[in-house]
């Protein structure tokens, strides 16, 4: 019984991380309406930046967040402006190709710079764990989970109460209407992409204490993020959070009770199943899903 | 005039191995033929607007089926070919589930996941596939064993495969199925209301596309006589490359992927051996840039964009276009057309 | 001869009842009009008939056969043709190829289809545009292409969804004889229209919908005099004057 709870707890903590990494994706999708195949690469960049700061000046990743977030924000804005915006009106096929190209470029750039090795950081905290009557709770994962909750909370408040949040929601609801209201949609798109990228970068910094970074780590996380986001409903924040937890639990249970090697295969299969059985996710469709091919 | 050109080309291609001594050059030809066949096969499905990034699944499924049957049960590759293609078609049935419910990027995403799952399975199912260590095809030469010590027979084999692939694609393109695929790509719902069974037509395209890819998987594995999961289910090599070739040459035509493959394969090899050697990943980095660049600058493909330019300069005259059937009704289209 | 019958057809979207318990018949070779204020549910009815939407309740009969469960393309093959309010030509294919597509669904020979398509285009007055791209022709020509393409399906019942919208009066006047010609060649016509005068002059019978309900049927003269119909349209106008 204890084991079961342990697996469940690990799953929830893992889920928090997945939620953190997926919130950026669902935000970007909700506003810009693009399926970004290079999303995981943003996480990878965040992780490498954090790693470099740690390796060179010994900056604690939890502090490097304050540098990584703005850096990724800038990168996100640049990507949106230079790569996505020119093809915003192009066919769906073209958008797939461009973001795929982006994913290939970024991943191989990392490969060129860092070679194929796994980079890990060692901190005192990496191995620390709290113990609650027999259930071990890894401290870095707990911190990541806490960060996820804080970020989601902050995002919720941002979207609900600030002007920026309202602009984001307006564009997410209806691009033409937002334009008619005088909202500079292109600026909002850049903002959304930048914000989404920054959030993903933060996720990377929080992942680093307990995950090794390597150039191709992006692909796996892109797919996880998509599974989470589709499960939760594209563009749906709450859905992304709950979806993340759900996938974390699935991975934890399948890794323990089925096979660790197949845990990725497990959630890909789930992904395909969700797309077939309930493509609108657990929490219903956000807007714009027809554009990307869900019915 | 065109007939003469093609006759000379055909003759040159047939005689080349007798004249060329360099193993490297022959290898390059083999690679080009292989990628022509693969890109054309991928394009058959892309005609319907379904961009698959999971074709490596068909390649790997068929390749492993044939290899395992040969190594474990001694079944000759020719029979392995049949079994392999059958497996690829089973894979196609699996892919048809997302294909018929999703469009665009979500479908592409599902296909990536499909290829990934199979790759993971191949790595994990060590009893069957020996995992990441891979398998080696026993070296027995002769047409019976589909393995040769020199490159020339492989040259002819892949030349035939390329021609077959182009032929099948051409026949499909100019048949009712071809028109319907293009209609589906443009507007599937409108196509349905005109009486087209869109599911059935897409399945036809998928089966041909997957089947040819699977066959190529079997043959190519015989050529390199080794197989391991990262290679057989490589997204870059067998999913992205045909896509890139198609984009460069122009998706939605028969000759587009052919031209793309002819251009990109030597370029890719050059990038891999010179740049890849300098820096791991440099070659794919350049691929990615090319992909982005072409889509932004010439979304219809480099070659189709060049045609109006060349026409303006008088280099190219009007001939039967590939997007329309022969101009006077009743004339059969010529069997090999370029896009001008 | 009753060609087509709808029985208690109902469709809801969430809480909104778009089509409420609709029943009517259409006889062979009739030209029947369907009118009603915006949002009355007319295009929803078309989508239900052609199969793009499934009804929550009710049945659709063609030639006495229940087609309610049939898929979209099967209904088309049975002789149910339609045009779309916002035309949907196939991009990347020429005008000629657009017409070939439905022909090829019935006879797989591309050469025959090409010849037949030329004939259809000639009848629609579009022969000169055979090699043109649908994006480069005028709206009126695109509408005629839409009709030509639907005609190529050899329909028994042709549903026209606002084919006159966006046309200037000259173009409208040119289109009406075409519609009568189509009917005379044996095709039953069911058309949604807002261009009232034109619809009334060409229809033999008119159905009127309002907020999902069928509120009146009759000849054009009867409909024009029907108080419920007037109320449905004018009711709109009263609201308009109240706010603006």
* Structural contact between residues B252 and B185, judged by C-beta atoms closer than 8 angstroms: yes
Burial readout C9-24 (b: 16 or more C-beta within 10 A, e: otherwise): bbbeeeeebbbbebeb
> Residue B1 belongs to what H/E stretch?
none
DSSP one-letter code for C15: T
Least CB–CB distance from C101: residue in B191, B252, B332: B191
Q: Which residues of B touch C50 (CB under 8 A)?
A: 193
Phi, psi angle pair for B300, to nearest 5°: -85, 0
The low-confidence residues of chain C, meaning pLDDT below 50, are 238, 241-244
Rounded Cα gap, residues A95 and A34, in angstroms = 7
Task: Write down the pLDDT at residue B322.
Answer: 42
Phi-psi map region of B163: left, alpha, beta (phi>0 left; psi -120 to 50 alpha): alpha
Rounded Cα gap, residues C88 and C146, in angstroms = 7
pLDDT-derived band at B336, boundaries 50, 70, 90: very low
Rounded Cα gap, residues B90 and C144, in angstroms = 44
Task: Write down the pLDDT at residue B315.
Answer: 55
pLDDT-derived band at A293, boundaries 50, 70, 90: low
Q: Taking 70 as the threshold, does the pLDDT of residue A294 lie above it?
A: no
- Give the residue-averaged pLDDT of A13-41: 88
| % of chain A exceeding 90 in pLDDT | 20
Domain B22-312 coded CATH 1.10.3470: yes
Q: Which residues of B touch C46 (CB under 8 A)?
A: none
Per residue in A100-159, pLDDT tens? 899 999 999 998 888 878 888 877 767 777 777 777 888 888 888 888 888 888 888 888
Q: Which residues of B touch C88 (CB under 8 A)?
A: 187, 189-190
Task: Write down the pLDDT at residue B314.
Answer: 58
Min distance B219 CA to chain A CA atoms (Å): 28
The complex's ipTM works out to 0.89
Per residue in A162-186, pLDDT tens? 888 888 888 888 878 888 888 888 8
Per residue in B220-279, pLDDT tens? 999 998 999 989 998 888 988 999 899 888 888 899 999 999 999 999 888 888 876 777
pLDDT-derived band at A292, boundaries 50, 70, 90: low
Phi-psi map region of C219: left, alpha, beta (phi>0 left; psi -120 to 50 alpha): beta
3-state secondary structure chain A: CHHHHHHHHHHHHHHHHHHHHHHHHHHHHHHHCCCCCCHHHHHHHHHHHHHHHHHHHCCCHHHHHHHHHHHHHHHHHHHHHHHHHHHCCCCHHHHHHHHHHHHHHHHHHHHHHHCCCCECCCCHHHHCEEEECCEEEEHHHHHHHHHHHHHHHHHHHHHHHCHHHHHHHHHHHCHHHHHHCCCCHHHHHHHHHHHHHHHHHHHHHHHHHHCCECCCHHHHHHHHHHHHHHHHCCCCHHHHHHHHHHHHHHHHHHHHHCCHHHHHHHHHHHHHHHHHHCCCCCCCCCCCHHHHCCC
pLDDT-derived band at A88, boundaries 50, 70, 90: confident
| % of chain C exceeding 70 in pLDDT | 96
Min distance A111 CA to chain B CA atoms (Å): 6
pLDDT-derived band at B340, boundaries 50, 70, 90: very low
The two three-digit tokens of residue B172, written as one number: 């499909």
Q: Which residues of B touch C77 (CB under 8 A)?
A: 195
Q: Which residue has the tokens 């190594």?
A: B71
Residue to substitute from A40, A265, A269, A270, interface B, most B β-carbons within 10 A: A265
Question: C-alpha distances in angstroms, A193 versus A26, A77, A168, A200, A229?
Answer: 10, 6, 11, 10, 16
> Residue B135 belongs to what H/E stretch?
strand B135-136
> Residue C165 belongs to what H/E stretch?
none
Residue C67 CA to its chain's centroid (Å): 18
The segment with the largest mean pLDDT, out of A213-217, A286-290, B178-182, is B178-182
Task: Write down the pLDDT at residue C235.
Answer: 67
Q: Which residues of B touch C76 (CB under 8 A)?
A: 192-195
Burial readout B242-260 (b: 16 or more C-beta within 10 A, e: otherwise): bbbbbbbbbbbbbbbbbbb
B102: helix, strand or coil = coil
Min distance B53 CA to chain A CA atoms (Å): 10
Residue B17 CA to its chain's centroid (Å): 23
Chains that touch C (3 or more CB pairs under 8 A): B
Task: Write down the pLDDT at residue C197.
Answer: 86
Residue to substitute from B191, B195, B199, B331, interface C, most C β-carbons within 10 A: B195
Q: Which residue has the tokens 């649908």?
A: C134
Min distance B250 CA to chain C CA atoms (Å): 12
* Structural contact between residues B116 and A37, judged by C-beta atoms closer than 8 angstroms: no
Which comes out higher in pLDDT, residue B315 or A135? A135
Chains that touch B (3 or more CB pairs under 8 A): A, C
Question: C-alpha distances in angstroms, A246 versus A19, A242, A256, B9?
Answer: 9, 6, 15, 59
Task: Write down the pLDDT at residue C40.
Answer: 86
Q: Taking 80 as the threshold, does the pLDDT of residue B301 lie above it?
A: no
Min distance B324 CA to chain C CA atoms (Å): 7
Tell me the CATH architecture of domain C1-79+159-185+197-244.
Answer: 3-Layer(aba) Sandwich (3.40)
Full-model pTM: 0.87
CB contact under 8 A, B120 and A226: no
CB contact under 8 A, A223 and B112: yes
Mean pLDDT of chain B: 85
Segments making up each domain of chain C, as ranges? 1-79+159-185+197-244, 87-155
- Give the residue-averaged pLDDT of B295-322: 64
Task: Write down the pLDDT at residue B313.
Answer: 64
Task: Write down the pLDDT at residue B320.
Answer: 41
pLDDT-derived band at A290, boundaries 50, 70, 90: low
Q: Which residues of C touch B196 (CB under 8 A)?
A: 73, 101-102, 105
Task: Write down the pLDDT at residue A210.
Answer: 84
Task: Write down the pLDDT at residue B316.
Answer: 52
Rounded Cα gap, residues A172 and A27, in angstroms = 9
Segments making up each domain of chain B, as ranges? 22-312
Rounded Cα gap, residues C3 and C13, in angstroms = 29
Per residue in B180-222, pLDDT tens? 999 999 999 999 999 999 999 999 999 999 999 999 999 999 9
Burial readout B36-73 (b: 16 or more C-beta within 10 A, e: otherwise): bbbbbbbbbbbbbbbbbbbbbbbbbbbbbbbbbbbbee
Q: Taking 50 as the threshold, does the pLDDT of residue B332 lie above it?
A: no
């Amino acid at each position: 019984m204890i084991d079961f709870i342990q697996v469940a707890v690990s799953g929830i903590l893992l889920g928090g991380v997945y939620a953190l990494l997926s919130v950026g994706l669902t935000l970007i999708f909700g506003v810009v309406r693009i399926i970004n195949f290079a999303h995981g690469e943003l996480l990878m960049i965040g992780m490498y930046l954090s790693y470099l700061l740690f390796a060179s000046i010994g900056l604690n990743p939890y502090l490097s967040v304050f540098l990584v977030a703005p850096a990724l924000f800038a990168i996100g804005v640049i990507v949106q402006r230079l790569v996505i915006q020119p093809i915003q009106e192009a066919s769906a096929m073209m958008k797939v190709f461009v973001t795929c190209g982006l994913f290939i470029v970024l991943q191989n750039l990392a490969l060129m710079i860092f070679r194929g090795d796994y980079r890990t950081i060692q901190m005192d905290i990496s191995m620390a764990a709290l113990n609650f009557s027999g259930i071990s709770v890894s401290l870095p994962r707990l911190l990541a989970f806490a960060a996820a909750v804080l970020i989601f909370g902050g995002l919720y408040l941002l979207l609900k109460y600030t002007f920026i949040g309202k602009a984001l929601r307006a564009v997410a609801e209806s691009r033409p209407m937002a334009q008619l209201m005088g909202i500079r949609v292109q600026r909002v798109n850049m903002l959304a992409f930048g914000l989404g990228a920054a959030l993903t970068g933060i996720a990377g910094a929080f992942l680093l204490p307990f995950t090794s970074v390597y150039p191709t780590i992006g692909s796996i996380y892109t797919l996880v993020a998509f599974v989470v986001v589709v499960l939760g409903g594209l563009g749906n924040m709450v859905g992304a959070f709950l979806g993340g937890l759900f996938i974390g639990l699935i991975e934890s249970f399948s890794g323990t009770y089925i096979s660790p090697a197949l845990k990725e295969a497990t959630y890909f299969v789930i992904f395909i199943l969700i797309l077939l059985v309930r493509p609108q996710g657990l929490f219903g469709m956000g807007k714009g899903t027809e554009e990307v091919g869900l019915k | 005039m065109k007939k003469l050109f093609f006759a000379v080309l055909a003759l040159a291609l047939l005689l080349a191995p007798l004249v060329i001594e360099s193993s490297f050059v022959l290898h390059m030809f083999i690679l080009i033929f292989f990628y022509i066949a693969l890109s054309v096969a991928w394009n058959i499905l892309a005609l319907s607007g379904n961009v698959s990034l999971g074709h490596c699944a068909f390649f790997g499924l068929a390749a492993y089926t044939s290899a395992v049957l040969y190594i474990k049960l001694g079944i000759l590759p020719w029979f392995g070919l049949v079994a392999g293609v059958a497996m690829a078609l089973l894979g196609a049935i699996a892919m048809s589930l997302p294909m018929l419910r999703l469009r665009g990027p979500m479908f592409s995403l599902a296909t990536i996941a499909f290829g990934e799952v199979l790759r993971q399975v191949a790595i994990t199912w060590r009893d069957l596939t020996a995992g990441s260590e891979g398998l080696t095809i026993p070296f027995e030469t002769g047409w019976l064993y589909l393995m040769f010590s020199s490159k020339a027979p492989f040259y002819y084999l892949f030349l035939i495969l390329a021609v077959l692939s182009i032929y099948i694609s051409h026949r499909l393109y100019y048949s009712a199925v071809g028109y319907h695929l293009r209609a589906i790509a443009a507007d599937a719902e409108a196509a349905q209301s005109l009486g087209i069974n869109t599911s059935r037509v897409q399945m036809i395209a998928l089966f041909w596309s997957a089947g040819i890819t699977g066959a190529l998987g079997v043959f190519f594995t015989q050529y390199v006589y080794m197989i391991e999961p990262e290679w057989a289910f490589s997204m870059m090599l067998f999913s992205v490359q045909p896509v890139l070739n198609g984009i460069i040459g122009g998706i939605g035509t028969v000759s587009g992927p052919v031209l793309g493959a002819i251009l990109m394969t030597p370029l890719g090899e050059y990038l891999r051996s010179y740049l890849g050697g300098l820096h791991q990943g440099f070659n794919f980095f350049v691929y990615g840039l090319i992909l982005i660049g072409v889509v932004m600058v010439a979304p219809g493909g480099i070659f189709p964009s060049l045609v109006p330019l060349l026409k303006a300069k008088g280099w190219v005259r009007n001939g039967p276009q590939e997007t329309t059937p022969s101009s006077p009704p009743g004339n059969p289209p010529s069997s090999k057309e370029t896009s001008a | 001869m009753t060609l087509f019958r709808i029985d208690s057809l109902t469709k809801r979207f969430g809480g909104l009842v778009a089509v409420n318990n609709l029943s009517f018949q259409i006889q062979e070779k009739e030209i029947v009009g369907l009118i009603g204020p915006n949002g009355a549910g007319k295009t929803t009815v078309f989508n239900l008939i052609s199969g793009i939407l499934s009804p929550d309740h009710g049945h659709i009969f063609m030639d006495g056969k229940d087609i309610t469960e049939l898929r979209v393309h099967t209904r088309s093959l049975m002789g149910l043709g339609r045009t779309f309010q916002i035309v949907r030509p196939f991009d990347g294919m020429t005008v000629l190829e657009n017409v070939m597509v439905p022909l090829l669904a019935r006879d797989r020979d591309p050469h025959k289809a090409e010849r037949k398509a030329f004939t259809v285009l000639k009848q629609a007055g579009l022969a000169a545009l055979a090699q043109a791209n649908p994006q480069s022709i005028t709206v009126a020509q695109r509408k005629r292409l839409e009709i030509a393409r639907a005609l190529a399906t050899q329909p028994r019942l042709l549903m026209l969804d606002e084919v006159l919208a966006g046309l200037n009066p000259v173009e409208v006047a040119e289109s009406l004889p075409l519609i009568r010609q189509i009917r005379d060649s044996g095709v039953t016509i069911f058309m949604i229209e807002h261009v009232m005068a034109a619809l009334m002059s060409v229809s033999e019978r008119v159905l009127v919908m309002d907020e999902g309900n069928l509120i009146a049927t009759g000849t054009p003269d009867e409909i024009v005099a029907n108080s419920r119909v007037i109320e449905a349209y004018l009711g709109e106008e009263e609201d308009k004057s109240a706010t603006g």
